[in-house]
Structure 1
Amino acid sequence: MAQLWSPSVKPVVAELWNGTGRPGRSGSTASSLEPLSPVTSRTRHPGRRFGQIVKLKPEFTEKYKEVHAAVWPEVQKQIKDCNIQDYSIFHDPGTGILFASFKYVGYDYDGDMEKMRENPKVREWWTMTDSFQESLVPGAKSSESGEPSWWQPVEEVFYQA
């Protein structure tokens, strides 16, 4: 699974809905996105989509696929418990790029990401999978180290439900 959900990582992809009932906004950037609503009730967020990339080291392609064919149950449970849904990772063998996509549907993104980061099995998973990858973010050290983030956030430029 992608490791870019620590509380220090800033969400960068356009929201599923932007208040108009239409996905995204043309020309939106990481700095122009509206933050998730603060916790004022226990209403779930309708869904915020995220996309991220990192490079897979070619010598670890088969190992990466192998570990993701049997993701540790503690990691899968933590993802679900932190209101992450529709989580996928795609691989482009030509470039080695991994593309992760998921939707956050909770009501407290930062709090959920802190819970994710506090799980020792998740941190162990991140350490293992980070060793298979090369970050595209200048200065990134690991998934657990915080800013700058390990996975490069990417902007959503089109979505159709």
Structure 2
Amino acid sequence: MARYIFLMNCKPGFEEEYKKRHKAVHPEMLKALKEVGISNYSIFMDGTKLYAYLEVDDFHRAMADLEKHPANRRWQKFMSDILEQENGGPKMTLIPEEVFHLD
């Protein structure tokens, strides 16, 4: 299982709303994440900066599958007013290279 980190940004002033929404993630969204093979998924917040960590065999395949999933489309629409957007979806920056890991 490969480990990935990506960065996103919450719109300024919506930090508490972001936290609130993630205390009640839609059950069908949680199921969709697992269906595409994502596990051990965490999001960390520092001000408006969001650092997401997840484990999945193939990040790009999982993201492509997730993009088509109806539950994800509903979740992305629900979150679109509080996340910085790019090309119709959340602006995500994948950190491509892991240089150290201690297990």
User: Considering the TM-score relative to the shorter chain, is it more than 0.5?
Assistant: yes
Q: What CA distance in whole angstroms lies between the structure 1 residues aligned with 2:99 and 2:7?
A: 15
Aligned amino acid, residue 132 of structure 1: I
User: If each structure's helix is expressed as a fraction of its own residues, which one has the higher value?
Assistant: 2
1:84 to 21, 38, 59: 38
Aligned amino acid, residue 131 of structure 1: D
Unaligned runs of at least 5 residues, structure 1: 1-46, 144-148
Cα deviation per residue 1:122-145 (whole Å; 9 max; x = unaligned)?
A: 11111222321225xxxx3232xx
Matched length: 102
Computed over aligned residues only, the root mean square deviation of the Cα atoms, in angstroms, reads 2.1
2:86 matches 1:153: no
User: If each structure's strand is expressed as a fraction of its own residues, which one has the higher value?
Assistant: 2
Which portions of structure 1, spanning 4 or more consecutive aligned residues, are displaced by more than 3 angstroms?
112-115
- Identity score, percent: 30
Greater C-alpha Rg: 1
For residue 74 of structure 1, what is the aligned residue in structure 2? 28
1:127 to 77, 84, 96: 77
Q: What CA distance in whole angstroms lies between the structure 2 residues aligned with 1:109 and 1:150?
A: 15
Cα deviation per residue 1:28-78 (whole Å; 9 max; x = unaligned)?
A: xxxxxxxxxxxxxxxxxxx11110001111211111111100100010001
What secondary structure is seen at the aligned counterpart in 2 of 1:133? coil
For residue 55 of structure 2, what is the aligned residue in structure 1? 103
